[in-house]
């Protein structure tokens, strides 16, 4: 028996609904990440044909950092080699109707530099009245050195006493220890504030000696 027009319409409608890939899922990863962060994937929109093996571990992953394949696992740990790059992931999965789909996530932020530490400064000079003190770098900043020094703040017994790269010790510093707070920008753009070691206690000033004179007559029998 031949099919009537209603049967043909019904079959075509069935085929359109069940035999065509209705679309793909959408995924996302965390935007703001840094070195040592672990990036995971979430489904932001389900596949119209069912998610199938998406994010089950049976799908395939391609983590891309600045166009270079860097990982094939379900999660990705950001590395120092990713600094300056943006990361995304491509996933190939089989949906609920057996279609193989490949989807791509959003990009992360540009991975920022890692602050590896600070420089160490020391005070040069003798902490005695009228002597001039200045600073020098004892250990350089590990983040490509020191780009610029922004400010100096000198302290005597924790009281602010001056600015600038040098400091002349005053009589008011006697009995105190002196240190300096330095703010600088390192070679990777990190703003750093460090405090030097303290000097020894500023000693009292010896302004000279007394002068004595002999009184009396230097003759026999006289007492001087």
Which tokens is 136 given?
Answer: 């020098």
Fold match between domain 5-104 and domain 120-195: yes
5-104 fold: Immunoglobulin-like (2.60.40)
Average pLDDT over residues 29-47: 96
Please name the residue that has the structure tokens 């609904």.
Answer: 17
pLDDT of amino acid 175: 98
Please state, in angstroms and rounded to a whole number, the distance separating the CA atoms of residues 27 and 16.
Answer: 26
Domain 120-195 CATH assignment equals 1.10.3470: no
pLDDT of amino acid 19: 58
- Dihedral in degrees, nearest 10, Cα atoms 159, 161, 165, 170: -120
**Which residue from 154, 183, 181, 182 is spatially nearest to 170, judged by alpha carbons?**
154
CA angle 181, 184, 186 (to 5 degrees): 140
Exposed/middle/buried for 166, CB within 10 Å: 0-12, 13-18, 19+? Answer: middle
Q: Give me the sign of the Cα torsion angle 141, 145, 147, 149.
A: positive
Question: Is residue 101 a contact partner of residue 47, using CB atoms and an 8 Å limit?
Answer: yes
Q: Provide the pLDDT confidence category of residue 9 given band limits of 50, 70 and 90.
A: very low
For the chain, give the mean pLDDT. 91
pLDDT of amino acid 39: 98
Please name the residue that has the structure tokens 């000279």.
Answer: 208
DSSP 125: S
| Element at 8 (helix H, strand E) | helix 5-18
Average pLDDT over residues 83-93: 97
**Domain range summary for the chain, segments of one domain joined by +:** 5-104, 120-195
Q: Provide the pLDDT confidence category of residue 18 given band limits of 50, 70 and 90.
A: low
Please name the residue that has the structure tokens 């990863």.
Answer: 29
pLDDT of amino acid 6: 42
């Amino acid at each position: 028996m031949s099919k009537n027009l209603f049967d043909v319409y019904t079959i075509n409608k069935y085929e359109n609904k069940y035999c065509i890939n209705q679309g793909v899922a959408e995924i996302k990863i965390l935007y703001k990440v840094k070195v040592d962060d672990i990036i995971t994937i979430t489904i932001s929109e389900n596949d119209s044909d069912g998610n199938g093996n998406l994010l089950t571990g049976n799908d395939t992953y391609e983590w891309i950092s600045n166009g270079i394949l860097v990982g094939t696992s379900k999660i990705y740990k950001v590395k120092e080699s990713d600094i300056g790059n943006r990361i995304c992931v491509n996933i190939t999965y089989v949906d609920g109707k057996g279609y193989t789909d490949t989807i791509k996530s959003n990009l992360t932020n540009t991975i920022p530099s890692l602050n590896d530490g600070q420089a160490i400064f020391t005070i040069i000079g003798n902490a005695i009245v009228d002597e001039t003190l200045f600073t020098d770098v004892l250990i350089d900043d590990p983040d490509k050195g020191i780009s610029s020094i922004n400010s100096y703040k000198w302290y005597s017994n924790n009281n602010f006493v001056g600015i600038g790269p040098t400091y002349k010790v005053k009589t008011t510093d006697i009995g105190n220890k002196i240190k300096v707070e330095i703010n600088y920008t390192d070679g990777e753009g990190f703003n750093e504030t460090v405090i030097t070691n303290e000097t020894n206690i500023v000693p009292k000033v010896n302004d000279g000696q007394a002068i004595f004179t002999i009184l009396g007559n230097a003759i026999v029998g006289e007492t001087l």
